[in-house]
């Protein structure tokens, strides 16, 4: 539970570093510490300042956790990193670490700054460079507080956020919402020497042959890996609590901890007055075997969205991508009030285990490309049987149309950007502000499988980055450490060697995880096919008072003067959304677009 920062160059000084660290203090128990070498200043604000230290000519600061380091009486983590650095160099030292971390090291002899960010990007790191100085920090706010760079928004970010789908907000992993601030991508090293920056990856997933082992053998390995990923994190956790929904991911993390420790754990769940979104009945199967006390965080259909979003933006330093994070924000508040110090969750389980509904299309594409027509038709039939929806229909025509739209069947493994999804609200953004027609999302294809490439895309370029960012900011805002065991890099390396038939089969997702959790999860939870997840009745949030505040915002002179939105098109969307909510018609509403609009405007009012 910490934030770090560093200043290098002529404008640097200890007073400024101490100021920008204290500006992001969220807990009275946190203390700050800074260390100086020549014109370099590294610092931390945390409950534990021992991970900011100096050993002769080398200064080190660590944000996060290194799980495979075992402290001794004679050597702490910083001393261990320094010893390894002197012996092997920075990159090899980082490659040997398993953790969720950002590590910054300044070598005063070589006048070189090194920074590394963990393999999945659980911990954040931003930086900015002027002509004669360099600043890095865990929080965007810290960099802005130096006054070295302006808070001018990046127009490309604003445009994507205003009228695009949330998946494309993080498509450029080096960018940030601010024009003059950059982000260090996950699994990358930054070196600053002679005022020149060089950045490169120290780890990546690559194409290899799929496992040839039996399903039972792989399930045993998976269970052992997940169990260890939970266990090594639990060993560092202070007063741990667990998020719990009715699905496989959070339940598997909780059940693994219970099995490892022999003790039931405290669980927190967002529950809703609207039974369409409430998972209390599904959660009930976990209570007897795994839960010491179940803490329900109840949300009605009309929370004060605008007031809560303002609070969320204050701790995120940027607009928050999806409405489900309001539920998470309120849950974190309750976890803190109940006296807990850390929070475990199931984030990453969907990406690793092919749990998202759209992953079916990429499994279908793999079957089609490999000539397995009968298997494809069977999977479509079971998909429609288990997952049909009054608004989002499931049938062969939908499957074939979706595969054609999202996969290039002429090239093995090549996934396509979903232009239909991306451009749905493009007309709401003024073309002279941001031209969606000129934006083509980067699609990365390291594998020969459509399903693997799609999940890889989500982990590093689409769904996971904004989720990891929100979890990090919102847990830390309430003085909580955040743990995401599914994003242990060993699990990623393992699951990207698992064939698609052990992820999706017979219309059911997460096949290997279900097999691995035999005897660990209650059978009712393990065998459940349908899952709601972190969904929320956000369509109702923009009705009544929420609708009135939304209309006031959109018709304000300040909103119009920004020149971002086509007000006529926005009004049409709002009117249609209001009618859908009022009549209850089975039609897709516009809550995601409206959520992003409100977040973007409130952020620009307070930060830009």
Q: Over range 138-144, report the average pLDDT.
A: 96
Report pTM: 0.95
Sign, Cα dihedral of 324, 326, 327, 333: positive
Helix axis angle, 373-387 to 359-369, nearest 10°: 160
Closest CA to 70 of 94, 99, 95: 99
% of the chain surpassing 90 pLDDT: 85
Sign, Cα dihedral of 533, 210, 489, 252: positive
* Backbone region of residue 164 per phi and psi (left: phi > 0; alpha: psi in -120 to 50; beta: other values): beta
% of the chain surpassing 70 pLDDT: 99
The whole-number pLDDT of residue 227 equals 99
CA dist., res. 203 & res. 422, Å (int): 30
* pLDDT of 608 above 80: no
Supply 176's token pair. 């940030």
- Average of per-residue pLDDT values in the chain: 94
Supply 537's token pair. 């009745």
Closest CA to 319 of 540, 607, 541, 561: 607
Which position has the higher pLDDT, 12 or 196? 196
Q: Quick check: 396 and 377 in contact, CB under 8 A?
A: yes
Which of 36-45, 289-298, 307-316 has the least mean pLDDT? 36-45
Number of other CB atoms surrounding residue 131 within 10 Å: 8
Say whether 544 sits in a helix, a strand or coil. coil
CA angle (449, 450, 455) in 5-degree steps: 100
263-277: pLDDT as tens digits:
999 999 999 888 777
For 14, phi then psi, to 5°, come to: -65, -40
The whole-number pLDDT of residue 303 equals 86
User: Partners of 42 in the beta sheet?
Assistant: 6, 35
CA dist., res. 402 & res. 390, Å (int): 17
* pLDDT of 8 above 80: yes
pLDDT band at 47 (very low <50, low <70, confident <90, very high): confident
Q: Over range 297-321, report the average pLDDT.
A: 93
List Cβ<8 Å contacts ≥24 apart for 386-394: 386/507, 386/508, 386/529, 386/530, 387/357, 387/360, 387/507, 387/530, 390/586, 391/586, 391/587, 391/588, 392/588
All residues at 6 or more sequence positions from 485 whose CB lies less than 8 Å from its CB, including other chains? 226, 229, 230, 233, 253, 256, 344, 348, 491
Which of 29-43, 101-115, 230-244, 330-344 has the least mean pLDDT? 29-43
The whole-number pLDDT of residue 535 equals 67
Taking the C-alpha atoms of 140, 144, 148 and 154 in order, what is their torsion angle to the nearest 10 degrees? 70
533-559: pLDDT as tens digits:
446 788 889 988 899 999 999 999 999
- 338-360 as b/e: b if 16+ CB within 10 A: eebbbbbbbbbbbbbbbbbeebb
Q: Over range 426-454, report the average pLDDT.
A: 95
Q: Quick check: 2 and 31 in contact, CB under 8 A?
A: no
The whole-number pLDDT of residue 1 equals 72
Q: What is the DSSP string of 324-365?
A: HHHHHHHHHHHHHHTT--EEE--TTHHHHHT-STTHHHHHHH
DSSP 8-class letter at 391: S
Q: Over range 567-580, report the average pLDDT.
A: 96
CA dist., res. 269 & res. 576, Å (int): 32
Q: Over range 52-63, report the average pLDDT.
A: 93
pLDDT band at 7 (very low <50, low <70, confident <90, very high): very high
Which position has the higher pLDDT, 389 or 253? 253
The whole-number pLDDT of residue 531 equals 57
Closest CA to 39 of 103, 112, 117, 90: 112
| Run of H or E including 126 | strand 126-129
Closest CA to 318 of 595, 602, 127, 1: 602
Q: Over range 464-486, report the average pLDDT.
A: 97
Q: Quick check: 115 and 93 in contact, CB under 8 A?
A: no
Say whether 184 sits in a helix, a strand or coil. coil
* pLDDT of 349 above 70: yes
* pLDDT of 591 above 70: yes
Which of 8-17, 116-125, 465-474, 547-556 has the least mean pLDDT? 8-17
280-290: pLDDT as tens digits:
999 999 999 99
């Amino acid at each position: 539970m910490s934030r770090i920062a560093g200043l290098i160059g002529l404008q640097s000084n200890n007073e400024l570093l101490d100021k920008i660290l204290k500006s992001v203090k969220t807990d009275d128990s946190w203390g700050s510490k800074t260390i100086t070498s020549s014109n370099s200043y590294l610092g931390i604000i945390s409950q534990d300042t021992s991970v900011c230290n100096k050993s002769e000519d080398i200064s080190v600061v660590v944000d996060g956790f290194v799980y495979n380091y075992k402290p001794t009486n004679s050597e702490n983590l910083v001393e261990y990193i320094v010893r390894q650095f002197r012996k092997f160099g920075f990159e090899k030292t980082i490659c040997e670490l398993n953790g969720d971390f950002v590590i910054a090291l300044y070598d005063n002899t070589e006048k070189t700054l090194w920074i590394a960010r963990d393999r999945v990007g659980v911990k954040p790191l931003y930086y900015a460079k002027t002509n004669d100085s360099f600043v890095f920090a865990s929080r965007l706010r810290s960099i802005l507080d130096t006054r070295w760079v302006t808070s001018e928004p990046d127009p490309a970010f604003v445009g994507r956020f205003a009228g695009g789908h949330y998946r494309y907000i993080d498509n450029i992993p080096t960018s940030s919402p601010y024009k003059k601030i950059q982000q260090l991508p996950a699994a990358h090293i930054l070196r600053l020497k002679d005022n020149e920056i060089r950045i490169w990856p120290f780890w990546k997933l690559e194409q290899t042959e799929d496992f040839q082992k039996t399903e039972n053998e792989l399930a045993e390995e998976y269970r052992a890996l997940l169990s260890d990923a939970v266990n090594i994190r639990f060993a560092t956790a202070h007063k741990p609590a667990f998020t719990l929904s009715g699905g496989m991911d959070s339940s598997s993390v909780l059940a693994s901890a219970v099995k490892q420790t022999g003790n039931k754990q405290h669980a927190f769940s967002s529950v809703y007055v609207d039974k369409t979104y409430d998972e209390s009945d599904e959660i009930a199967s976990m209570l007897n075997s795994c839960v010491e006390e179940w803490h329900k965080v109840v949300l009605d259909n009309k929370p004060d969205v605008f007031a809560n979003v303002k609070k969320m933006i204050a701790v995120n330093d940027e607009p928050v991508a999806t409405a489900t994070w309001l539920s998470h924000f309120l849950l974190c508040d309750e976890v803190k009030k109940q006296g807990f110090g850390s929070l475990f969750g199931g984030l990453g389980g969907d990406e690793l285990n092919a749990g998202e509904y759209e992953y079916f299309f990429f499994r279908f594409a793999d079957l089609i490309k490999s000539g397995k027509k009968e298997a494809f038709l069977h999977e479509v039939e079971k998909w429609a049987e288990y997952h049909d929806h009054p608004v989002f229909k499931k049938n062969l025509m939908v499957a074939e149309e979706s595969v054609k739209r999202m996969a290039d069947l002429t090239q093995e493994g090549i996934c396509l950007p979903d232009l239909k999804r991306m451009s749905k609200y493009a007309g709401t953004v003024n073309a002279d502000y941001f031209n969606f027609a000129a934006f083509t999302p980067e699609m990365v294809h390291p594998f020969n499988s459509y399903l693997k490439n799609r999940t890889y895309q989500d982990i590093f370029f689409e769904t996971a980055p904004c989720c990891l960012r929100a979890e990090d900011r919102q847990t830390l805002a309430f003085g909580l450490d955040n743990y995401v065991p599914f994003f242990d890099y060993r699990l990623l390396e393992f699951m990207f060697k698992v064939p698609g038939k052990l992820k999706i089969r017979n219309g059911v997702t997460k096949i290997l995880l279900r097999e691995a959790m035999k005897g660990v999860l209650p059978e009712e939870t393990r065998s459940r096919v349908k899952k709601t997840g972190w969904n929320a009745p956000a369509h109702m949030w923009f009705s009544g008072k929420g609708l009135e505040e939304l209309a006031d915002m959109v018709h304000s002179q300040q909103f119009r003067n920004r020149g971002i939105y086509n007000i006529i098109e926005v009004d049409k969307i709002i009117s249609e959304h209001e009618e859908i909510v009022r009549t209850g018609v089975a039609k897709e509403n516009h809550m995601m677009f409206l959520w992003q609009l409100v977040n973007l405007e409130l952020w620009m009012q307070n930060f830009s």
